[in-house]
Structure 1
Amino acid sequence: MKLSAPIFQLKRRAKLMARSNNVPLNEALDQIAREEGFARWSLLSSRMSSGTLSGTILSRLDNGDLLLLAGRPGHGKTTLGLQLLIDAARDDRRASLFTLEFTEQQARKHLRTLEGDGGSVADGVQVVTADEISADYIIQYMSGSEPGTVAVIDYLQLLDQQRSKPVLSEQVQTLGDFARRSGVVLAFISQIDRSFDTESKRLPDIRDIRLPNFVDLGLFNKACFLHNGEAQLQDVA
Structure 2
Amino acid sequence: MAMSVAAVGHLSRSASRAVARAANGFHLLRIEGYSETEMVLPGQRISSEDFTVGDYSWRVDCYPNGRDTSTKSNAMSVYLQLTDQAHRVLRARYKFSLLDRAGNAGYELPAETASFTSVSSMYNYQYRSPVLGAVDEQGPGCGHDEFIGREELERRREDLIRDDRIVLRCDVGVTQIEGSRLAADELSDEEEDEQFVAPGYGYGPPRQRRLRRRTDDDEYVKWCLTEEPRRSRGYQVRPRGFGHPNWY
Same fold (TM over 0.5): no
TM interval, shorter chain, is under 0.3
Tell me the TM-score normalized by structure 1: 0.19
Q: Which structure has the greater CA radius of gyration?
A: 2
Higher strand share: 2
Tell me the TM-score normalized by structure 2: 0.18
Higher helix share: 1
